[in-house]
Amino acid sequence: MQLTVIIVSYNVKFYLEQCLYSILAACKNITTEIIVIDNASADRSLAYLQPKFPQVNFIKNEVNTGFAKANNKALLTAKGKYILYVNPDTILPEDILVNCISFLNDHNEAGAVGVKMLDGNGNFLPESKRSFPSVIASFFKLSGIAGLFPHSPVFNKYALGNLDENTVYEVEVLAGAFLISRKEILLALNGFDEDFFMYGEDIDLSYRIKKAGYRNYYLGNNVIVHFKGESTKNDSTYIKNFYEAMQIFVRKHYSRASSLLIEPAVHIAAFMAASLQKMNKIFAAGKKQLNKEFILAGDAEAVDSAAIILKHNGYLYKILTGEWEVIIHTLAEDSVAYNLVFCLNNTGYANCIQFIKNNKNRFGVYWHYKNAECILSGSNVTAIPQIYIHM
């Protein structure tokens, strides 16, 4: 077995559905097993997904054990030479798994590999590549100062803002949203540290991989979509969880002096972040709204099932079908700000991802797989079920 894909899921059945379809397209030429650990979801995820994906091993936890424990549970049963940890709210292009495995085969010193991540509108997610946290770097990140100077090697050191996002680099920290490594390395390190419930476990694993003598590589020439970007987490709950994770990491790996310094620094940063968030909401309220008309672009059968959902909810739409290359070219030439629904059926993920990368924020981007019961919003983390459309 070449690859085991491990996904920890919690109440995101529609995003997980689209993720699984993209994974199946990406592993066609790779012997792969897919393990989904459901962390006690309340949205009937397994009842909905198991009939659609009989080839996937679904494991249900009776309680939410957190990200680290759930991943470790799957690791103990994994059969693949390589392990891919991937979040359920991601979309993968067809060639990415072959590319990552090929890179690992060619680089014996590589302990783990990560990739460039875009949010649903095509914006780069800075957590794709990071440095190990320090007190000052954490302060700049949480306060929002890093966002004001995104390319600064000083103010945005945590996200390595001075490194080109499209290039291959050795980095310190990779994101747990997409991280591929050798099973033998992960087992030797006992997987993720289960003291971390949310956030920080990928930083800790990256640290231990490097401490064991391996290198972590960021492949900026390989791109995925990750719907939950920083913009959706810049609130008091995220700040609290991030702060607690940083405390665990610093106490574990750094000196006591650094541990004592991080608390006041993060408290000040939290206040500054809250102020910036209020200002952003004020500016966002004045932004021009997108045209309410939809373009359904892609596979004809998938377009038909998406049209049923939109028609049921009273929305207008245009249809654009044919070869993906022609569709992408036509959309790129259109200057109207439509709401765009990518309608997929087994292929087309790489073309769609490349399009939103080249045309970020031009469209309200949505995703639909043939006969799925929803149209997924790429702008936020709310799924659009068949009987309701969230705008």
* Domain containing residue 260: CATH number: 3.90.550.10
Least confident of 23-32, 241-250, 311-320: 241-250
State whether 354 and 254 are in the same domain.
Answer: no
**132: in domain:** yes
Give the model's pLDDT for residue 312: 85
Residue 387 — very low, low, confident or very high, per pLDDT cuts 50/70/90? very low
| Contact yes or no for 113/219 (Cβ under 8 A) | yes
pLDDT in tens, 323-373: 998 998 888 887 676 789 999 998 899 999 999 999 888 888 899 999 898
pLDDT in tens, 254-290: 666 555 666 566 556 555 655 555 555 555 444 444 4
The residue that leads in pLDDT, 390 or 238, is 238
Q: Who's near 376: CB < 8 A, 6+ residues apart? A: 14, 15, 18, 227, 366, 367, 368, 383, 384
pLDDT in tens, 211-263: 999 999 999 999 999 987 433 344 455 556 666 666 666 666 666 655 566 65
State whether 372 and 240 are in the same domain.
Answer: no
**287: in domain:** no
State whether 277 and 300 are in the same domain.
Answer: no
**391: in domain:** no
Q: Tell me the percentage of the chain whose pLDDT exceeds 70.
A: 78
Element (H, E) at 257: helix 256-285
| Token representation of residue 297 | 């672009």
Give the model's pLDDT for residue 194: 87
Its pTM stands at: 0.86
State whether 209 and 317 are in the same domain.
Answer: no
Last-in-domain residue among 218, 248, 282:
282
State whether 269 and 352 are in the same domain.
Answer: no
Residue 110 — very low, low, confident or very high, per pLDDT cuts 50/70/90? very high
pLDDT over 60 at 302, yes or no: yes
State whether 221 and 301 are in the same domain.
Answer: no
Residue 382 — very low, low, confident or very high, per pLDDT cuts 50/70/90? very low
**pLDDT, average across residues 187-205:** 86
**390: in domain:** no
**289: in domain:** no
* Other CB atoms within 10 Å distance of the CB of residue 131: 17
The boundaries of the domain holding residue 320 are: 294-385
pLDDT over 70 at 381, yes or no: no
State whether 65 and 170 are in the same domain.
Answer: yes
Give the model's pLDDT for residue 265: 62
Distance of CA 355 to the CA centre of its chain: 17
**pLDDT, average across residues 107-124:** 95
Pairing of β 3-9 and β 32-39: parallel
State whether 277 and 322 are in the same domain.
Answer: no
**288: in domain:** no
| Token representation of residue 100 | 């990552």
Where residue 60 falls (left for φ over 0; alpha for ψ -120 to 50; beta otherwise) is: beta
- Residue 330 main-chain phi, psi, to 5 deg: -65, -45
State whether 95 and 241 are in the same domain.
Answer: yes
**47: in domain:** yes
State whether 103 and 206 are in the same domain.
Answer: yes
Give the model's pLDDT for residue 133: 74
pLDDT over 50 at 78, yes or no: yes
Task: Compute the C-alpha angle 378/152/268, nearest 5°.
Answer: 80
| Contact yes or no for 168/220 (Cβ under 8 A) | yes
Number of domains observed in the structure of the chain: 2
Q: Which of helix, strand or coil describes residue 220?
A: strand
| Contact yes or no for 339/331 (Cβ under 8 A) | no
Q: For all residues of the chain together, what is the average pLDDT?
A: 85
Element (H, E) at 369: strand 364-369
State whether 155 and 298 are in the same domain.
Answer: no
State whether 178 and 323 are in the same domain.
Answer: no
**63: in domain:** yes
Where does residue 70 rank: exposed (0-12), middle (13-18), buried (19+ CB within 10 A)? buried
Indicate the residue type of 253.
Answer: H
Give the model's pLDDT for residue 150: 86
Give the model's pLDDT for residue 32: 98
The residue that leads in pLDDT, 96 or 315, is 96
Q: In terms of Cα–Cα distance, which of 183, 195, 204, 206 is closest to 129?
A: 206
Give the model's pLDDT for residue 275: 59
Give the model's pLDDT for residue 230: 35
